[in-house]
Amino acid sequence: MGQSKAMAGVYIACAAAACAAAAVVLTQRVKVRSQKYTARKILVEFQEACETPLPRLRQVVDAMAVEMHAGLVSEGGSKLKMLPTFIDHLPDGNEKGLYYAVDLGGTNFRVLRTQLGGLEGRVIKQEYEEVAIPPELMLGTSEQLFDFIAKELVSFVAREGEDFRLHEGQSREIGFTFSFPCKQTAVNSGTLLQWTKGFKVNDAIGQDVVAALQGSIERRGYKMRIAALVNDTVGTLAGGRYWNNDVMIAVILGTGTNACYVERAESISKWGGELPKSGQMVINMEWGNFWSSHLPRTYVDELLDNESLNPGEYGFEKMISGMYLGDCVRRVLVRMAQQAGIFGPHVPHKLLEAFTLQTPDMSKMHHDDSSDLKMVAEVLKTVYGIHNTTLGIRKIVLAVCDIVCQRGARLAAAGIVGILKKIGRDGSTANGFIRRNDVNGIHDELTVNSIGGSGKTVVAMDGGLYEHYSKFRNYMQQAVRELLGDAAKNVFIELSKDGSGIGAAILAASHAEYVPT
Q: What is the pLDDT of residue 222?
A: 87
Mean pLDDT, rounded, of the chain: 88
Residue 217: C-alpha distances to residues 107, 143, 148, 154, 352 (Å): 20, 11, 10, 8, 47
Q: Looking at residues 121-143, what average pLDDT do you find?
A: 92
Number of domains in the chain: 1
What residues make up the domain containing 210? 84-243+498-511
Is residue 142 in some structural domain?
yes
- How many Å apart are CA 291 and CA 380, to the nearest integer? 33
Report the distance separating Cα 209 and Cα 207, nearest Å. 6
The number of CA neighbours under 13 Å toward the Cβ of 335 is 20
- Confidence (pLDDT) at 505: 93
pLDDT tens for each residue of 249-300: 999 999 889 999 999 999 999 988 888 888 999 999 999 999 999 999 999 9
pLDDT: is 447 or 384 the higher one? 384
Sign of the Cα torsion 481, 486, 489, 490 reads: negative
Tell me the CB-side half-sphere exposure of residue 60, using CA atoms within 13 A.
28
Cβ count near 139 (within 10 Å):
15
Nearest to 382 by CA among 360, 406, 404, 400: 360
pLDDT tens track for 338-351: 999 999 999 999 99
pLDDT band at residue 13 using 50, 70 and 90 as cut-offs:
low
Quote the pLDDT of residue 133. Answer: 92
Q: What percent of the chain has pLDDT over 70?
A: 88
**Which one is predicted more confidently, 54 or 200?**
54
Residues belonging to the active site: 110, 179, 232
pLDDT at residue number 438: 38
Residue-level pLDDT at 194: 85
CA dihedral 370, 372, 378, 380 (to 10 degrees): 120
| CA distance readout (Å), 208 to 211, 215, 340, 370 | 5, 11, 54, 53
Q: Which residue has the higher pLDDT, 372 or 18?
A: 372
What is the pairing mode between strands 224-230 and 172-178? parallel
Is pLDDT larger for residue 275 or for residue 421?
A: 421
Q: Which percentage of the chain shows pLDDT scores above 90? A: 70
At 166, the pLDDT band (50, 70, 90 cuts) reads confident
List alpha helices for 135-244, DSSP H: 142-158, 209-219, 232-243
- Write down the pLDDT at residue 92: 87
Instruction: Please give the pLDDT value at position 14.
Output: 54
Q: Is residue 124 part of a domain?
A: yes
Q: How much is the pLDDT for 157?
A: 93
Average pLDDT of span 370-396? 96
Decide if pLDDT at 168 tops 90.
no
Residue 228 belongs to some domain of the structure = yes
pLDDT score, position 228: 95
Residue 234 inside a domain? The answer is yes
45 in a domain, yes or no? Answer: no
- Does residue 449 surpass a pLDDT of 50? no
Residue 161's CATH number = 3.30.420.40
- The mean pLDDT of 210-229, rounded to a whole number, is 94
- The pLDDT of residue 435 is 43
pLDDT of residue 227: 94
| Per-residue confidence (pLDDT) for residue 1, from 0 to 100 | 55
Task: Give 437 or 508, the one with higher predicted confidence.
Answer: 508
Who has greater pLDDT, 12 or 485?
485
pLDDT, position 183: 86
Give the per-residue pLDDT at 31: 55
Inside any domain, residue 102:
yes
Starting at the earlier edge strand, list the strands of the sheet with 257-264. Answer: 83-84, 280-284, 257-264, 247-253, 457-462, 491-495
Predicted confidence at residue 89, as pLDDT, reads 87
φ/ψ of 494, rounded to 5, equals -125, 135
Task: Tell me whether residue 503 is in a domain.
Answer: yes
User: Which has the minimum average pLDDT: 19-33, 229-243, 453-467?
Assistant: 19-33
Low-confidence winner among 4-8, 153-157, 221-225, 278-282 (lowest mean pLDDT):
4-8
pLDDT digit string, tens, across residues 53-95: 999 999 999 999 999 999 999 988 999 999 999 999 899 888 8
What is the secondary structure of 80-138 as a DSSP string?
S--EE-S--S---S--EEEEEEEEESSSEEEEEEEEEEHHHHSEEEEEEEEEEPPGGGG
Residue 410 within a domain: no
- Measured between alpha carbons, how far is 401 from 326 in angstroms, rounded to an integer? 8
